[in-house]
Structure 1
Amino acid sequence: MTRPRAVLTMNPRQLAGALFDDATMARLRRVVDIDPGLVLGELDSEGSRAALASAEILIGGWAAPVIRAEHLPHTARLRAVVYAGGVAATLLEEPAVFAARGVVAANARAANAVPVAEYTLAMILLAGKGALTAGRLYRRFRYLPDRTNPVPHGGNYRGTVGIVGASTVGRAVLGLLRPFDLDVLLYDPTLTAEQATALGARLVPLPELMAHSQVVSLHQPLTPETRGQIGAELLALMPRGATLLNTARGAVVDEDALLAELRTGRIDAVLDVTEPEPPARDSELWTMSNVVLTPHLAGSMGGELRRIGQSVADEVERYAAGLPFAHPEDLAASAAARVR
């Protein structure tokens, strides 16, 4: 039986080696015809277009070249796209064209959500403990604080955490929060109260969540509706000593409004994402003592990339066996969302 031809595409090309160790690549080679040394970093050379034309399955990674209109004549054999990231349609300038052809797609969003959720949980617990504020005071005054009241509202027992967005990452965070003695609020306009309860949270309006949460963790997608969603009015509702945690996208927060609130010293922020990214060289975010700034590292990195590689291999095996993807992506819906 002829194995389907699969081609790798990503940038930098070395990413393929980080995603697929020898054992995972061996899994792929058992079910598809793939050259581990052939990784398309561009689609405009004669060799790259010939490789694209041979592909029944395109295995993409971050910063892969986008298939544009001029490349369409070289995609006649393409039947599946498996993306080692969040949205497979990012590889396609016109996902509707491929949806109409019956091309199927899958992504590794669920695999990548795991380390983001782990990072988020760690920061929620540290912030709830008051570690960020206590650490600043310790360095400044060099004394051990009163354990009965080291920082305002410190401690995670019966603390309140607000989750904005029941996205893939948001749901993973909700799952990780279940063992802890925390009250969890959730804002997501797509859910019912019963669905939120099943996720371990109480559904509330966004202003209520902001006003009552010790830690607010952002997990909404970046859409026209959510751009700048967390603005001055909502930030002003946060209790003194609360922490805003953002691992979603920098642009869901109005940065000018956040800076104004941070200058007061009322709240803390843990920012793994910003807009722009990195912040401008003269941004106050670099020097504010009540800001923890990390370089977009919550997502998969180092050995965590192997989990994504395993997820991709799982999907390729399912395709080769004639099974539906475990984590399918609707290219038609992606096309509609892009138009909107």
Structure 2
Amino acid sequence: MTTDVWIPFEEDEIEGLPDAAAAGFNYRYWNGGPDYPADPADCAFYVVPYLKRTEVVVPPLAAMTSLEVIQTLSAGIDHMTPGIPSLGPGVQLCNARGVHDASTAELALTLILASLRGIPDFVEGQRTGEWRNGFRRALADSSVLIVGYGAIGSAIEDRLTPFECARVARVARSGRATERGPVHPLAELPALLPEADVVILTTPLTEATRGLVNADFLARMKTGALLVNVARGPVVDTKALLAELDTGRLSAALDVTDPEPLPQEHPLWHAPGVLISPHVGGPTTAFWPRAKRMLAAQLTRYAAGEPLVGVVLTTE
């Protein structure tokens, strides 16, 4: 008996995949096209195509009656949660923990430095032939707060270390101790916000974090602070953020927005003090080799009947 494994790569593109015959796998290539590669009812392991919208990747789930594992290639799994109610019990939903850490942390630092040092202003000055010099803010001696201290948050702190920050504070759903220092529970966030020059959002999107950055959150941030969002757009209340940006009290660097993609006429494009990148934290040259290594290792565990990594939830 064989097991269908849907993957968004050709089988020979992934070094280290379990041998199909030995593992009893049928590898079925599907990258979100209009035609399914086989009967979804026979799929036991579904690797979700990367950067495809919910309306593309969720519909097969309802027909996947033999499904045991959903493996995303993203750190977030919110795009798959609409399909969870259609699944039977015991299906494991796994994220791509570790795959996006380097790329997303790299972009977070890029957005911080570009915003603080005024790079968009220099680009505009170059376009118009203006020499826009003067003093700019530095990351050195700044206080940084990371909200959502998982693998990506930790990778960002790795990259902050050489920049001589005055302080790095960490917040997660629950408190814990680390070698770098304490991770504060979410309940302590209101007291930490007024101390931070830079607030970095790396939290997953859940019902608890949706709208976390609301008017009260923003009001607690110190005047002149920078908000950086490399998490998910709906973590931030866009209307509340626009109100603060329009006063000039805060600035923002956003790789994700709500709505997304951001419509051409949306006021966030032209709000003062905002730098926007189009959700490009993950898709870099660093992604593909890491994704393929993760997938080969995960399928090797699956073939051997070993516990999987990155399990976010198991259906009941």
TM-score by length of 1: 0.74
Q: In 1, distance between residues paired with 2:170 and 2:71?
A: 31
Q: In 2, distance between residues paired with 1:37 and 1:189?
A: 37
Q: What SS does structure 2 have at the residue aligned with 1:178?
A: helix
- Change in Cα spacing, 1:90 to 1:257, as seen in structure 2 (3 Å) is closer
C-alpha deviation, 1:21, in angstroms: 7.8
Q: Spell out the pairing of 1:268-283 with structure 2 (5 A cutoff).
A: 268-283=251-266
Alignment counterpart, residue 84 of structure 1, candidates 73, 81, 98: 73
Q: Which residue of 2 aligns with 1:135?
A: 122
- AA paired with 1:187? V
Alignment counterpart, residue 111 of structure 2, candidates 123, 131, 135: 123
C-alpha deviation, 1:199, in angstroms: 4.5
C-alpha deviation, 1:277, in angstroms: 0.9
Alignment counterpart, residue 172 of structure 2, candidates 188, 195, 199: 188
Kindly indicate which of the two structures has a greater share of residues assigned to strand.
2
- Change in Cα spacing, 1:228 to 1:132, as seen in structure 2 (3 Å) is farther
The structure number with the bigger radius of gyration is 1
Q: Which residue of 1 aligns with 2:53?
A: none
- Change in Cα spacing, 1:95 to 1:327, as seen in structure 2 (3 Å) is farther
Q: What is the alpha-carbon root mean square deviation over aligned residues?
A: 3.4
Instruction: List runs of 5+ in structure 1 lacking aligned partners.
Output: 10-15, 336-340
Q: Which residue of 2 aligns with 1:24?
A: 14
Q: After the TM superposition, which of the residue ranges 21-30 and 183-192 deviates more from structure 2?
A: 21-30
Q: Deviations over 1:39-68 (max 9, x none)?
A: 6756xx8x76x6333334333324423455
Q: Deviations over 1:248-269 (max 9, x none)?
A: 1212212122111111222221
Q: Spell out the pairing of 1:1-340 with structure 2 (5 A cutoff).
A: 4-8=2-6, 16-17=8-9, 22-24=12-14, 27-30=17-20, 31=23, 33-37=25-29, 41=33, 51-62=39-50, 63-67=56-60, 71=63, 75-76=65-66, 78-85=67-74, 86-87=76-77, 90=81, 92-94=83-85, 97-99=88-90, 103-128=91-116, 130-132=117-119, 135=122, 142-145=131-134, 150-151=135-136, 154-182=137-165, 183-192=167-176, 195=177, 197-200=178-181, 203=184, 205-301=188-284, 304-332=287-315
Q: After the TM superposition, which of the residue ranges 168-177 and 158-167 deviates more from structure 2?
A: 168-177
Instruction: List runs of 5+ in structure 2 lacking aligned partners.
Output: 51-55
Partners of 1:7 and 1:51 within 8 A in 2: no
Identity of aligned residues (%): 29
- Change in Cα spacing, 1:80 to 1:279, as seen in structure 2 (3 Å) is closer
Kindly indicate which of the two structures has a greater share of residues assigned to helix.
1
Q: Which residue of 2 aligns with 1:12?
A: none
- AA paired with 1:203? H
- Change in Cα spacing, 1:38 to 1:257, as seen in structure 2 (3 Å) is closer
C-alpha deviation, 1:270, in angstroms: 0.7
- Change in Cα spacing, 1:290 to 1:38, as seen in structure 2 (3 Å) is closer
Q: In 2, distance between residues paired with 1:228 and 1:32?
A: 45
Q: In 1, distance between residues paired with 2:184 and 2:84?
A: 37
C-alpha deviation, 1:247, in angstroms: 1.3
C-alpha deviation, 1:142, in angstroms: 2.5
